[in-house]
Amino acid sequence: MTAIPPVGVRPPCPPTPTTRASELKKLLNRLHPSPETLLLILSLLIGGVTGVGVVTFHYLIHLIHTLMLEDLMGLIPRGSPWALACIPTFGGVIIGLMRWRFQDFGPNISTLIAASQGLQELSPLKPITKMVAASVSLGSGASLGPEAPSVEIGANFGMLVAQVLQLSQDRQRLLLGAGAAAGIAAGFNAPIAGVFFALEVVLGSTFATSSISAVLLSAVVSALIAQICIGTQPAFALPVYEVRSSWELPLYMGLGLLASGVSIAYTEAIQLADRWFHGKTPGFGWLARIPRPIHPIMGGACVGLVALQLPQILGVGYETVEAMLQDVQFSLSLLLLLLGVKLAMTAVSLGSGLVGGIFAPAMFLGASLGSAYGIFLGMIPGISGHVAGPPAYAMVGMAAVLAGSARAPLTSILLMFELTRDYRIVLPLMAAVGLSVWLVELVNRRLTHSLNLQQMGLDVTVNQPPQPIEPLLEPFQDLEESFSDRLANGILACQISTDEFNIDEFNIDELNGQDIHDLPVLAVANGHLKEDVKSLP
C-alpha cells in the first residue's frame, strides 16, 4: 500500500546538480571571500584536479599500451606478419564503437573559448569520455600526441567550475586558461611553458596582469602533483648543448627556413585529410558515404599497415625522438623517410577521427628534420668540425616546427629551455623559431590567432571560413570577396551596407519577412571590411 503525501506537500526529491551548485554558492557567500581570493582558491583546485587527471591519463595510456602489445599480441599466432597491424586497427574499432555510442566526445578548446566569450552555446562537457578515447587511440598506436587531451582535462574542469559558480565571461576564460596551463605543466613537467601557453594561446590579450597569479598557481600545483606521481624527470632526456662556433647562428636560421616548410606541409596535410574523410575533395566523395564510426577503423588500419615497415611512427613517438637526441645513428635517408611518413600518418589519424594532439608529432617531425640537417652539414667539407652534432639541431628543429605548426613561439622556446635547462640554446632557438613563424605567417596571411588552437589537433578544419549559425545568413556567405579596404582582426558581428549589390538577387521571401539591413553577418577574420561597416551593439 503506497503512502500518499498530504495535499500541498511535495514528496522529497533527490538532490540535483543545480541544488548542489546552489549550496556551494551559499557556502562561498557565507565565507565572503574577496574576488581575488576566490580566484586563487579556484586556481589551486583546478591545478590539483588537473594534475590528478593528467597523471591518470598517462597511467591509462600505459595500461592500454601494455594490454595491446603484450596481452592482445599474445593471442595472435606467433610469427604472423600482420600481428602489428592488428593493434592500431583494433584501437580504431574501439574508437568507432565509442563514436557510434556517444556521437561526439565533447567540446574542444576552440569551442570552450568561444563559449566563454558568449559566441556560441556550450555543448555538454564529456572530459572522461574524451580521456578514455584518447587513451585508447594513443595506447593502440595512433600517430598522435597526449598534449591536447591533457589541456582539455584542465580546460573542461575550469569551465565546469566557472559554470557551477555562474562566473562572468572574463572569469570563465581566466579559469579556462588556468586549466590549460595546468594541463601543459603536468604533461611536460614544464610549468613555465604551461603558463605561457595559457597566456599566448588561450587568453591572448584579454588577461589582466593582476590575474596572472591564478594561471601561475594552477600550473605550479599541477606540475607538483605530476612530479610526485610520475617523477621529476622531464619528458625527454636531452644531451648537453654544445656551441662550436658563433658562426653557427646563420645555420640555425637555415634550419628555421626548412622548419617553416615542414610546418606548412604539416598543417596542410591535416586539412587535406579532414577534407578527404568528409568527402570534400574530388575523387573522395565516397568516404563521406561511409558511416562516420567506420573512419577510425580505416585510419587505424592505415597506421598499422605502414608500421609493418616503419614501427617508429606508432604512438606518441617519444622513444624515437629521444634516440635522435641521444645521437643514436640514423641514416639520412631513414630520417627523411620518417619525416614524410610520420607527417602523413598523423594527418590520417586525426582526419579519420582518432583522438589526440599534434604537439608530439610536430616535435617528432622537428627532431627528424634537425637530425637530417645536422647530418647533412657534417657531410660538407670544411665545416664539419666547426658545427654541433645532429642532436643540437634536432632540439632546435623540434621547437621550430612546433612553433610554426601551433602558432605558439614563446611556448615552444620556453618548453625547450625548460627541458634542456641550458641558457646557451636560447639564441639558436629564438633565431630558428622566429624565422619559422614569420615565414609561415608570410606564406599564409589568412591564419588568425584562433588557428593555433585548431592546429593543436583540437579542430582541424583550419583555413575554412566559419559557417553562419543561422540559415537566414546563407545568402551572405560570398560577400567576403567584396570586402577590400580594411583588415578585420577578429570575428565580428556587424551590419553591412547593401548599397553596392543587388538585393533582388536574394529570395527575400525566404528571410521570414526580416529587414535585410538588420540581418547580422559573420565577417571572417581574413575579410576586408568597408569603412561603412559598423559593429552591432
The mean-pLDDT minimum among 230-234, 404-408, 415-419 falls in 230-234
Residue type at position 225: I
User: Nearest to residue 175, comparing CAs of 133, 229, 115, 135?
Assistant: 115
Q: Which CATH superfamily does the domain covering 247-454 fall into? A: Clc chloride channel (1.10.3080.10)
What is the per-residue pLDDT across 316-352, written as a single tens digit (0 to 9) for each?
888 899 889 888 888 999 999 999 999 999 999 998 8
Residue 208's pLDDT band, with cuts at 50, 70 and 90, is low
User: pLDDT higher for 404 or 70?
Assistant: 404
User: pLDDT higher for 162 or 450?
Assistant: 162
Residue 66's pLDDT band, with cuts at 50, 70 and 90, is confident
Residue ranges of the chain assigned to CATH 1.10.3080.10:
23-230, 247-454
| Residue 507 pLDDT exceeds 80 | no
Instruction: Give percent above pLDDT 90 in the chain.
Output: 22
Residue 203's pLDDT band, with cuts at 50, 70 and 90, is confident
Q: What is the pLDDT of residue 319?
A: 87
As a whole number, mean pLDDT of residues 183-201 equals: 87
**Whether 414 contacts 399, CB under 8 Å:** no
Residue 470's pLDDT band, with cuts at 50, 70 and 90, is very low
In whole angstroms, what separates CA 150 from the centre of its chain? 9
Q: How far apart are the first and last CA of the chain?
A: 61
What is the per-residue pLDDT across 14-64, written as a single tens digit (0 to 9) for each?
444 455 555 555 555 555 666 777 888 888 999 999 999 999 999 999 999
Taking all residues of the chain, what is their mean pLDDT, rounded to a whole number?
Answer: 75
Element (H, E) at 315: none
| Residue 247 pLDDT exceeds 50 | yes
Give the chain's radius of gyration (CA, Å): 25
Residue 371's pLDDT band, with cuts at 50, 70 and 90, is very high
| Residue 472 pLDDT exceeds 80 | no
The mean-pLDDT minimum among 304-318, 355-369, 428-442, 481-495 falls in 481-495
| Residue 135 pLDDT exceeds 60 | yes
Q: Distances in Å between the alpha carbon of 48 and those of 196, 229, 232?
A: 19, 12, 17
User: Nearest to residue 186, comparing CAs of 46, 65, 317, 298?
Assistant: 46
**Cell numbers describing residue 455:** 592546429
User: pLDDT higher for 2 or 395?
Assistant: 395
As a whole number, mean pLDDT of residues 244-260 equals: 86
**Cell numbers describing residue 231:** 617523477
Give residues with Cβ within 8 angstroms of 392, minimum separation 6.
239, 241, 242, 374, 425, 428
As a whole number, mean pLDDT of residues 140-169 equals: 84
Furthest-apart CA pair in the chain: how many Å? 99
As a whole number, mean pLDDT of residues 128-145 equals: 88
Residue 292's pLDDT band, with cuts at 50, 70 and 90, is confident
As a whole number, mean pLDDT of residues 143-148 equals: 86
pTM over 0.85: no
| Residue 155 pLDDT exceeds 70 | yes
DSSP symbol at 210: G
Q: What are phi and psi of 35, to 5 degrees?
A: -55, -40
| Residue 484 pLDDT exceeds 60 | no
The mean-pLDDT minimum among 393-397, 412-416, 533-537 falls in 533-537
User: pLDDT higher for 508 or 180?
Assistant: 180
**Cell numbers describing residue 496:** 553591412
As a whole number, mean pLDDT of residues 472-476 equals: 42
> What whole-number distance in Å separates Cα of residue 177 and Cα of residue 93?
34
As a whole number, mean pLDDT of residues 81-98 equals: 86
Residue 463's pLDDT band, with cuts at 50, 70 and 90, is very low
Residue 417's pLDDT band, with cuts at 50, 70 and 90, is confident
Burial class (CB in 10 A: 0-12, 13-18, 19+), 128: middle
**Whether 249 contacts 430, CB under 8 Å:** no
Q: Distances in Å between the alpha carbon of 318 and those of 107, 371, 386, 421, 522?
A: 27, 15, 29, 19, 42
> What whole-number distance in Å separates Cα of residue 318 and Cα of residue 326?
12
Q: Distances in Å between the alpha carbon of 362 and those of 265, 344, 499?
A: 11, 12, 48
Instruction: Give percent above pLDDT 70 in the chain.
Output: 69
Residue 259's pLDDT band, with cuts at 50, 70 and 90, is very high
Q: What is the pLDDT of residue 457?
A: 41
In CATH terms, 23-230 corresponds, of 3.30.365.10, 1.10.132.20, 1.10.3080.10, 3.90.105.10, to: 1.10.3080.10
